[in-house]
């Protein structure tokens, strides 16, 4: 029986996990693929580095052509990261008729459609399950397991490091700064932590999820994004008192007026399944018209969880080749709905105003909300003592308002002479 030969670019976290699983679960994999799968060559930057996996005779090289020019290699796995070089490696692989698996969310969020068009042109398979929520098979579920359903809305915790930080803030009452170093040490944060903290990593994954769920191209730059940098312990406590948990959510929704794609901190009811997703775990909550609600939960990062998704893609390709299946692609752009701006969307809000004691007449604030027809659901007042100074935190939750109107109201409130700070605003997610 012909062995399928794999060439892997990258032997870091994900590459090592992939090699480990392909080696140690070889027999299990073969029961599915029927064809044996073997790693022939691994390309890295620095061949002299100590590696944590045994390559069992696979060639280690720093020359990309050892893979790209090898006619025996059927499947190329790109687990290097970065954009331009990885893109060029994948393009060259397609031109040589090689099938491709990638875990590269940054690349797919930007060039997923372009690379899919190229794969289609060269009749190559192209999978990238590990790019969203690591080991959770969510792209495969959206593409293959919910046929017969219209996917209406997705709410995802798809960035493990920020979920880890928010969970520890909530459980241990530590400030964000105190947890960042641990999140770095545990390898949860990207080399540039702002990609996680400012929400960009989740926004890239959100663009991929929305594109595949709705068969409608959504690019990274179309996703509204706001990160967790400004979330404080106080907000977490006030939210808890109101029955909410703060999570960084990626929301994708297919509405009559357009596609919603946004990533930002949200208050969600503490009884919601997503509120119970703790530490570095990921979860994707999907609402469909026939199945109803379903949630996919698991590890969104790390060598073996992410390697598991990469291996599943390799095995799917091997199986498709064995059974002569034509390629099917995640990016099937059949619809052209526009992506809504955040100003066009409506939310309920949590708003915190910190004011000097005795200086504020809260009815001035309420009158402004009234002027904009924004209803007040709850209004609480807490005395706060900090560095010998005493002030008041007003916590207001509102009914639904168009974001644009809400922002105008908040601007007027902040301009009141008695308000000495910017309002803290967090959206409340009600439709999940």
Q: Which positions lie near ligand HSE, rule CB under 6 A?
A: 134, 159-161, 188-190, 196, 201, 300-301
Residue 159 binding result from ligand NAP, ligand HSE, none, given CB thresholds of 5 to 8 Å by partner type: ligand HSE
Judged by beta carbon distances under 5 to 8 A according to partner kind, the member of ligand NAP, ligand HSE, none in contact with residue 188 is ligand HSE
Least distance between ligand HSE and beta carbon 200 (Å): 10
Residue 13 contact, options ligand HSE, ligand NAP, none, Cβ 5-8 Å cut-off depending on partner type = ligand NAP
11 binding partner (options ligand HSE, ligand NAP, none; Cβ < 5 to 8 Å by kind): ligand NAP
Q: Label residues 339-369 b or e (16+ Cβ within 10 Å = b).
A: bbebeebebbbbbbbbbeeeebeeeebeebb
Is residue 199 within 8 Å of 228, Cβ to Cβ? yes
State the sign of the Cα–Cα–Cα–Cα dihedral 170, 171, 173, 175.
negative
The interface region with ligand NAP, picked from 40-48, 252-260, 262-270, 311-319 by CB under 6 A, is: 40-48
Indicate the residue among 63 and 414 with the shorter CB distance to ligand NAP.
Answer: 63
The least CB distance from residue 218 to ligand NAP, in Å, is 19
Q: CA 287 to CA 290: how far, in whole Å?
A: 9
Q: Is 205 marked active-site? A: yes
CA distance 136 to 149: 20
Out of 5, 8, 10, 169, name the contact with ligand NAP by CB under 6 A: 10
Catalytic residue, candidates 205, 247, 299, 424 = 205
Q: How far is the CB of 159 from ligand HSE (least distance, A)?
A: 4
Min separation Cβ 70 and ligand NAP, Å: 15
Cβ proximity to ligand NAP: between 15 and 112 the closer is 15
Question: Residue 146: which residues within 8 A CB-CB, separation 6 or more?
Answer: 286, 288, 291
Q: How far is CA 326 from CA 149, 198, 407, in A?
A: 23, 40, 50
Q: How far apart are CA 41 and CA 44, in angstroms?
A: 10
Q: Indicate the SS3 state at residue 256.
A: coil
193 binds ligand NAP (CB under 6 A): no
Q: Is 52 in the site for ligand NAP (CB under 6 A)?
A: no
Q: How many C-beta atoms surround the C-beta of residue 417 within 10 A?
A: 8
Partner from ligand NAP, ligand HSE, none binding residue 211, C-beta < 5-8 Å depending on class:
none
Pairing of strands 126-127, 59-61: unpaired
- Residue whose CB is nearest to ligand NAP in the complex, by number: 12
Segment near ligand NAP (CB under 6 A); pick from 5-13, 143-151, 381-389, 402-410: 5-13
Determine, following the binding rule CB under 6 A, whether residue 39 of this chain makes contact with ligand NAP: no
Q: In whole angstroms, give the CA distance from residue 72 to residue 404.
A: 58
Say how far apart CA 226 and CA 251 lie, in whole Å. Answer: 12
DSSP type of residue 142 = I
| Residue 309 parent element (H or E) | helix 303-322
Residue 46 partner contact from ligand HSE, ligand NAP, none using kind-dependent CB cut-offs of 5 to 8 Å = ligand NAP
Contact status: 282 vs ligand NAP (CB under 6 A): no
Nearer to ligand NAP, 313 or 429 (CB): 313
Instruction: Report helix, strand or coil for 317.
Output: helix
Partner touching 18 among ligand HSE, ligand NAP, none, CB below 5 to 8 Å by kind? none
Residues 6+ apart with CB under 8 A from 48: none
Give me the residues paired with residue 6 across strands: 39, 75
Q: How far is the CB of 330 from ligand NAP (least distance, A)?
A: 15
Q: Which one-letter DSSP state was computed for residue 340?
A: P
* 191: its two tokens: 């080399």
Q: Which 85-104 residues touch ligand NAP, going by CB under 6 A?
A: 85, 103-104
Reduce the DSSP state of residue 212 to 3 states and report it. Answer: helix
> 111 to 130, contacts with ligand NAP by CB under 6 A?
130
Among 4, 7, 21, 81, binds ligand NAP (CB under 6 A): 81
Q: Which is nearer to ligand NAP, 201 or 235 (CB)?
A: 201
Parallel, antiparallel, or unpaired for β 73-78 and 99-102? parallel
159, 248 in Cβ contact below 8 A?
Answer: yes
Q: Which listed option, ligand HSE, ligand NAP, none, makes contact with residue 74 (CB within 5 to 8 Å by class)?
A: none
Asked whether position 217 contacts ligand NAP by CB under 6 A, the answer is no
Q: How far is the CB of 304 from ligand NAP (least distance, A)?
A: 10
User: Could you list the active site residues?
Assistant: 205
Q: In the complex, which residues of this chain contact ligand NAP (CB under 6 A)?
A: 9-15, 43-46, 49, 79-81, 85, 103-105, 130, 134, 301-302, 306
């Amino acid at each position: 029986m012909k062995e399928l030969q794999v060439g892997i670019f990258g032997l870091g976290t994900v590459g090592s996990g992939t090699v480990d699983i392909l080696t140690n679960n070889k027999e299990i994999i073969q029961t599915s693929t029927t064809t044996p799968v073997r790693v022939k060559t691994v390309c890295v930057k620095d061949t002299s580095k100590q590696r944590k996996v045994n390559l069992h005779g696979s060639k280690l090289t720093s020359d990309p052509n050892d893979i790209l020019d090898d006619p025996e290699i059927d499947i190329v796995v790109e687990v290097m990261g970065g954009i331009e070089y990885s893109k060029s490696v994948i393009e060259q692989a397609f031109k040589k008729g090689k099938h491709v698996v990638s875990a590269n969310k940054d690349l797919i969020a930007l060039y997923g459609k372009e690379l899919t068009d190229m794969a289609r042109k060269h009749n190559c398979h192209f999978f990238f399950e590990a790019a969203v929520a690591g080991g959770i098979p969510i792209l495969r579920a959206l593409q293959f397991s919910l046929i017969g359903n219209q996917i209406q809305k997705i709410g995802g915790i798809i960035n493990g490091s920020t979920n880890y930080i928010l969970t520890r803030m909530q459980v241990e009452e530590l400030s964000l700064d105190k947890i960042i170093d641990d999140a770095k040490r545990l390898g949860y944060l990207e080399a540039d932590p702002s990609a996680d903290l400012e929400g960009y990593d989740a926004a890239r994954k959100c663009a991929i999820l929305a594109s595949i769920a709705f068969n409608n191209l959504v690019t990274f730059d179309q996703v509204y994004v706001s990160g967790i940098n400004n979330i404080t312990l106080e907000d977490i406590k006030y939210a808890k008192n109101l029955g909410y948990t703060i999570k960084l959510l990626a929301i994708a929704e297919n509405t009559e007026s357009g596609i919603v794609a946004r990533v930002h901190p949200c208050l969600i009811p503490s009884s919601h399944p997503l509120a119970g997703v703790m530490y570095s775990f990921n979860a994707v909550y999907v609402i469909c018209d026939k199945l109803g609600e379903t949630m996919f939960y698991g590890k969104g990062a790390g060598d073996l969880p992410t390697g598991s998704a990469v291996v599943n893609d390799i095995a799917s390709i091997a199986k498709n080749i064995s059974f002569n299946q034509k390629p099917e692609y995640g990016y099937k752009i059949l619809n052209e709905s526009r992506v809504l701006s955040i100003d066009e969307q409506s939310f309920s809000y949590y708003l915190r105003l910190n004011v000097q004691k005795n200086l504020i007449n809260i009815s001035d604030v309420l009158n402004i909300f009234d002027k904009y027809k924004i209803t007040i659901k709850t209004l609480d007042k807490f005395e706060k003592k900090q560095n010998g100074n005493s002030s008041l935190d007003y916590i207001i939750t509102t009914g639904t308002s168009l974001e644009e109107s809400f922002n105008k109201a908040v601007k007027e409130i902040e301009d009141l002479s008695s308000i000495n700070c910017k309002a803290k605003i967090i959206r409340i997610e009600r439709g999940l």
